[in-house]
Structure 1
């Protein structure tokens, strides 16, 4: 017996998708009907329903419609690899959302906004710099260069640049029991300066401004202190100031 075809109304009732969305998916060639009647009514077979459910599932996973169209062209194994990566992305978003909700509770309870955990290590270094650059550098030539340099970098280059900075901070954290003026620590501060100067020109005054921000701005302070059980932000301040004045 031939399997009955599903109408737009049937699809809407089964999946919860709106008829307008279904028509839009047809128009962009993401999900087309199996058949068209003489009067132009769209009909779908049972196998196409699985494809639509996959589309809706991927949409819930935060993929764009263009990304979904590309994913549907892949093999099942290739799709699984992409979904594994997306799972990590969603976990990060979940953790970020939980942090925001906790911060909201703290703020409603009267906590000062600068001390909220929303400004802690939940933000990667590149976001901290992007969020704070204008505050730290002001409308200076250095800030303009910083912005222009970031715009010229590809996403991979940005990731590599900031990953390198994070690695330096981790190495400094492992030497937190040394004197900030020690050769090892100062060598790492020189590496940090070299990386920073690839993004923007830095004189002693600007470096001191950055050092003060690391120490006194709760957002940076919380970020850096994730790398150590002790006050890494204060240690960085001392090491940078020695480098400037040494």
Structure 2
């Protein structure tokens, strides 16, 4: 003979929902028992299973419990329309997760975090743009930064990428010299090339160069960035090479 009413354990066995979740749904008036026995046991009509299954389905569609409480009050047709609208949100989430997974794979393979496309199509700015904004915040009132920014704005996107690639090539060359003293002729020749690169954008006095050297050495993001060029501490090596170059250069 079929049970006219279902106990909590029956609901758990049929749907897979936990007892804790079922009790919580009761407390927030989302899914209440049909009957409550004198000794406090919850009992449910078999027909109420459809409502619970709808709730569980909507949870899988990533609706909040508050949203679900409103949706289950609607007609079946209205529920279908809202569910289809949610499809677009889920598709966007899927694409976002695919981007995150791709970024994780690239990061694990050694790509620098500043080159990842993780923040594209996000309210969070891409890391390179964050760095640019940070530089503007720190140095935006200085004449050197204003000249740098004005020069940068005259370049096309391809030209910017080309200049960035030139700088990376310099870092790679410097990394091959990491076994030499920072004061060696070869290292200092490359530091002079590095300075010439910066001079394309703005005049770099000793104060600006020291600031850049300090950032290279002590900013963890730059440490991680330089790690792609050498297993040694390239950030510290650059710092020492730049400081030596400043100290030996007549002011």
Q: TM-score w.r.t. structure 1 length?
A: 0.52
**Who is 1:162 aligned against?**
none
State how far apart, in whole Å, the 2-side matches of 1:213 and 1:119 are: 24
**Who is 1:135 aligned against?**
134
Q: C-alpha deviations, 1:168-194, integer Å up to 9, x for none?
A: xxxxxxxxxxxxxxxxxxxxxxxxxxx
Q: C-alpha deviations, 1:17-44, integer Å up to 9, x for none?
A: 1111111111110000011112121011
**Who is 2:20 aligned against?**
20
1:138 deviates by: 2.4
State how far apart, in whole Å, the 2-side matches of 1:58 and 1:217 are: 48
SS at match of 1:40: coil
Larger radius of gyration: 2
Partners of 1:55 and 1:68 within 8 A in 2? yes
Partners of 2:119 and 2:126 within 8 A in 1? no
**Who is 1:60 aligned against?**
60
Partners of 1:137 and 1:206 within 8 A in 2? no
1:119 deviates by: 3.6
Change (3 A) 1:114 1:5: same
1:72 deviates by: 0.7
Q: Per chain length, whose mean CA-contact separation is higher, i.e. which structure has more relative contact order (CA < 8 Å, sep 6+)?
A: 1
Equivalent residues in 2 for 1:1-246, closer than 5 Å: 4-120=4-120, 123-124=121-122, 126-128=123-125, 132=130, 135=134, 137-138=136-137, 208=150, 211=153, 215=157
Partners of 1:34 and 1:43 within 8 A in 2? yes
State how far apart, in whole Å, the 2-side matches of 1:56 and 1:81 are: 17
Q: C-alpha deviations, 1:105-147, integer Å up to 9, x for none?
A: 1111111222223244xx15x5438984953652799xxxxxx
State how far apart, in whole Å, the 1-side matches of 2:155 and 2:62 are: 35
SS at match of 1:74: coil
Runs of 4+ in 1 over 4 A off after TM superposition: 204-218
SS at match of 1:33: coil
Partners of 2:118 and 2:126 within 8 A in 1? no
Partners of 1:106 and 1:116 within 8 A in 2? yes
Unpaired runs of at least 5, structure 2: 141-145, 162-251
Change (3 A) 1:214 1:80: farther
Please identify which structure carries the higher helix content.
1
Partners of 1:26 and 1:32 within 8 A in 2? yes
Residue-pair matches, total? 154
Q: TM-score w.r.t. structure 2 length?
A: 0.51
SS at match of 1:128: coil
SS at match of 2:43: strand
Change (3 A) 1:63 1:139: farther
Partners of 1:8 and 1:19 within 8 A in 2? yes
